[in-house]
Amino acid sequence: MVSNEIIPEKAIATEFLVSATMRELKDKETIFVGIGIPLIAALAAKLSHAPRLTIIVEGGAIDPEPRRLMMGIADDSCVERVLSADSLIRVFSDQQNRLVDMGVISGAQVDKYGNVNSTTIGDYYKPEVRLTGSGGACDIACSAQRLLIMMRQELRRFPERVDYITSPGFIDGPGAREKLKLRGGGPSVVVTTAGIFRFDKKTKEMYLDSIHPGLPLDWMKQSVGWELKVPKNLKTTPYPTVEELRIMRELDPMGFFLQLKLGLLDFDTYMKYLEKSFETFNKLYCLV
């Protein structure tokens, strides 16, 4: 039986991020999702309120049931108990044919029109920081019917205009996506460690829809680089439930992503992780 009980003081910022993302994912839909915290949210949603959610991983795996959390798109666990092990070109082609309901991406910056930068900080030709680039993010942003963006809430990550558009949102406002004949519907929600943002249907500008409990509104306004629109009926984000926390923590039993410990990973720690995950994941998928 699913419990809706909450223990407020037990949830950390990344767990709010996962919980709020989970609730955006709907049963019977197909989502294209990246490795790490986005995948934790997708798997947790499938193991709770959305059992018929179909998860696509960038490397071509469709609907895996892994025995451990994937560490990359070419990880063997991506194809464990998978519905279909296809190619990268196949799943991206399906997305361009409007067969993907929601894409989930992240990046270094997002601006008020939902454009995402994962390419460079500063001038492209003389960057302060050169980042990893698009991967599949641009394709997802162009073609998914809805786009969910996951971000840490920091002023430097929310400029009025991103330094470089890696993945297009609404670009510079109404009509811009249509001019470029992009197939997808554009961003629908930005979920952060501090709140939930949505987009005005007319202006295409991001506004604050929900703020996480205990955070001052003035702080939130100061954490973006433009004059943030806030509706009169501003919501408070619900706390993660005990059941949501249980599932996401079992998916990431050593806190590599939820507690940002991936940088501490070494061989011995990884072997302990494999041993711990095997039994836990089998229980999650009712295999023992």
Higher pLDDT, 14 or 69: 14
| 4 has a pLDDT exceeding 70 | no
Active-site option among 9, 24, 58, 227: 58
Structure tokens belonging to residue 34: 């990246």
Q: What is the pLDDT, as a whole number, of residue 265?
A: 76
Q: Look at residue 281 in the predicted model and tell me its pLDDT.
A: 81
Q: Which residue has the higher pLDDT, 120 or 132?
A: 120
Q: Tell me the domains of the chain and their CATH numbers.
A: 8-284 (3.40.1080.10)
Encoded tokens for 76 = 């063997």
In b/e form, how buried is each residue of 185-213, taking b as 16+ CB within 10 angstroms? ebbbbbbbbbbbbbbeeeebbbebbbbbe
Which residue, 44, 28, 38, 29, is CA-closest to 58?
38
pLDDT of 47 above 80: yes
Annotated catalytic residue 58: yes
* pLDDT at residue 285 tops 80: no
**Distance between CA 85 and CA 174 in Å, rounded?**
38
**What is the token pair recorded at 131?**
């980042």
Average pLDDT over residues 1-8: 50
pTM: 0.89
pLDDT of 97 over the 90 cut? no
Q: Between the CA of residue 226 and those of 124, 146, 230, what are the distances in Å?
A: 22, 24, 12
> In the prediction, which pLDDT does 7 show?
53
Query: For the chain, where are the E strands, in sequence order?
Result: 30-33, 54-57, 61-62, 84-85, 102-106, 109-110, 116-117, 120-122, 127-130, 146-151, 187-192, 195-199, 206-211, 235-236
Half-sphere exposure for 23 (CA within 13 Å, toward CB): 15
Q: How many residues does the chain have?
A: 288
Question: DSSP secondary-structure letter at 54?
Answer: E
Structure confidence at residue 5 as a pLDDT band (50, 70, 90): low
* 146-151 and 102-106 strand pairing: parallel
What would the pLDDT profile of 158-187 be if each residue is shown by its tens digit?
Answer: 999 999 999 999 999 999 999 999 999 999
When pLDDT is cut at 50, 70 and 90, the band that residue 93 belongs to is confident
Digit-coded pLDDT (tens) for 234-264? 999 999 999 999 999 999 888 888 888 777 7
Is 2's pLDDT higher than 50? no
